[in-house]
A and B are shown apart, each in its own frame.
Chain A
Amino acid sequence: KAGVTQTPRYLIKTRGQQVTLSCSPISGHRSVSWYQQTPGQGLQFLFEYFSETQRNKGNFPGRFSGRQFSNSRSEMNVSTLELGDSALYLCASSFGSGATDTQYFGPGTRLTVL
């Protein structure tokens, strides 16, 4: 089975721009969770989508948004980029919803904001 895929792998943007990241889960998985990883804060939960619905959300500003499509693929959007948004963005897929099911991570998208 193919693993979780994320595109693009690397991205360089400037302050004020917006960015869209994509995640394709493992076949058959319906839940996609997004995380931000920085050296100072570690892995921080952004949100979870299950069956096209956002079912959980972390403590991030409204500039961070996402959606999920009927084929379970998910996108994450960050608008009005700030320098502090530079991070590794990871998505993880699981078969079921919630945090009790095992999550498998994609390779991540490294975002650099200049």
Chain B
Amino acid sequence: QKEVEQNSGPLSVPEGAIASLNCTYSDRGSQSFFWYRQYSGKSPELIMFIYSNGDKEDGRFTAQLNKASQYVSLLIRDSQPSDSATYLCAVNSYNTDKLIFGTGTRLQVFP
């Protein structure tokens, strides 16, 4: 089992729709959860972080964390073509104190 798992996609959504990106992790001791966006040929850019169970909203983005079920998700409301990118989920490993990245989900927003 991979430490951080994401569906590679592509996830295709129409403009204006809600995009839902999911991530599961295996380390029950993980405390910090991050979402990064990476455009093709560019470096990862931080979108959000979340530490507590529940929802955290920032503009069109909402991160959701459920530690009991070991999953974290990112919702993008009113998706725009400019949101088309790969979204990386990153989770801190409690045991090794390293940031572990999923392989990313490619999101395509079509007009």
What is A's interface to B at a CB cutoff of 8 Å? 33, 35, 42-43, 45, 48, 56, 58, 88, 90, 98-108
Contact = CB atoms under 8 A, between A and B. Distances in A.
A15 B97 CA distance: 33
Contacts of B96: 56
Given A56-B96, A98-B92, A100-B32, A42 B101 contact: yes
30 contacts: A35-B101, A42-B103, A43-B44, A43-B90, A45-B98, A56-B96, A56-B98, A58-B98, A88-B43, A90-B43, A98-B97, A99-B32, A99-B92, A99-B97, A99-B98, A100-B31, A100-B92, A102-B34, A102-B46, A102-B49, A103-B34, A103-B46, A103-B99, A104-B46, A105-B44, A105-B45, A105-B46, A107-B42, A107-B43, A108-B43
Interface of B: 31-32, 34, 36, 42-46, 49, 88, 90, 92-93, 96-104
Nearest to A47: B98
Given A35-B101, A42-B102, A101-B32, 12 more contacts: A43-B90, A45-B99, A56-B96, A90-B44, A99-B97, A100-B31, A100-B92, A102-B34, A105-B45, A105-B46, A106-B43, A107-B43
A30 B102 CA distance: 25
A56 B32 CA distance: 17
B50 to A, nearest CB: 11
